[in-house]
Amino acid sequence: MQKTYATLARIVSGVPSTVDPESALLEANMPPLHVLCLRARLSIFENTRACQMDWMRRPPPEPPPRAGFRISPLSRDELYAFVDAYTKDYGITESSPREERFFRSSIPPWYAASAHRVTIGVELPIDHSITDEEELIREKRRVSEEALALHSHRSWILATDGGVDVPKSAGVGILLSSLNSSEIIEKASINCGARPCSYRTESRALLLALEKLMIPRIRHRRKTLLVVTDSQSLLAALNKGPLSQTDWTEDQIWQRLLTLTRAGWSVHLQFCYGHCGVHANELADQYATQTMESGQYTEQGIAPLWHTDLLTCFTTQLTNKWRSTLRQDTHRYLLCGTRPSDLSGKDLITQEVLHRQELVHLARARCGESELWGRLYWAVRDCTTNADSATSHRNSLHICALTTIQLHRGRTLFPRRRGRKTSLQ
Give yes or no: residues 311 and 183 share one domain: no
Burial 245-274 (b: 16+ CB within 10 A, else e): bebbbbbbbbbbbbbbbeeebbbbbbbbbb
In a domain, 65, yes or no: no
Distance CA 400, CA 393 (A): 10
Predicted confidence at residue 156, as pLDDT, reads 96
> What is the distance between the alpha carbons of residues 210 and 220, in angstroms, rounded to a whole number?
14
- Residues 326, 403, single domain; the answer is no
Whether 418 maps to a domain, the answer reads no
Phi, psi torsion values for 380, nearest 5 degrees: -65, -40
**Pair 27, 94 in one domain:** yes
Q: For residues 5 and 43, what is the distance between their CA atoms, to the nearest angstrom?
A: 21
> 158: closest CA among 202, 199, 214, 211?
214
Is the domain of 228 the same as that of 287? yes
- 180 with 259, same domain: the answer is yes
For residue 64, is it within any domain? no
pLDDT at 216: 96
Peptide bond into 61 cis (omega under 30): no
**Which residue type, as a one-letter code, is found at position 293?**
E
Same domain, 164 and 275: yes
Q: Rounded to the nearest 5°, which phi and psi values hold at 351?
A: 65, 15
pLDDT at residue number 403:
44
Question: Which three-class secondary structure state does DSSP give residue 254?
Answer: helix
Q: Residue 76 has what pLDDT? A: 79
Q: 230: closest CA among 163, 324, 135, 170? A: 163
Which residues form the domain of 351? 338-408
Report the CATH number that the domain containing residue 201 is assigned in CATH. 3.30.420.10
Residue 413 is which amino acid?
L
Residues 267 and 379 in one domain: no
Same structural domain for residues 198 and 141?
Answer: yes
In this predicted structure, what is the pLDDT of residue 67? 57
Residue 287: CB atoms within 10 A of its CB come to 21
104 inside domain:
no
Domain check: are 133 and 207 in the same one? yes
Task: For residue 311, tell me if it sits in a domain.
Answer: yes
Neighbours of 400 (CB within 10 A): 21
Domain count, the chain: 3
> Taking the model in full, what pTM does it have?
0.79
Residue (of 170, 255, 244, 164) closest to 204 by Cα position: 170
Give the pLDDT confidence score for residue 331 in this predicted structure.
86
Query: What's the pLDDT score for residue 106?
Result: 82
Flag residues of the chain having pLDDT under 70. Answer: 52-74, 103, 372-425
Report pLDDT for 53.
56
Helix or strand holding residue 269 (H, E): strand 266-271
Residue 67, domain member (yes or no): no
154: in domain? yes
With CA atoms as reference, report the closest residue to 401 among 367, 371, 425, 377.
377
pLDDT (0 to 100) of residue 375: 54
Does residue 235 sit within a domain?
yes
Which helix H or strand E contains 391, and what residues bound it? helix 389-408
Pairing of strands 266-271, 224-229: parallel
Same domain? 267 vs 381 = no
Cα–Cα distances (Å) from 283 to 15, 86, 89, 204, 215, in that order, read 49, 36, 32, 18, 22
- For position 373, what pLDDT does the model report? 57
* 19 and 85 both lie in a single domain: yes
CA 97 to chain centre: 22
Q: Are residues 171 and 262 in the same domain?
A: yes
Confidence (pLDDT) at 409: 42
Residue 70: what pLDDT?
54
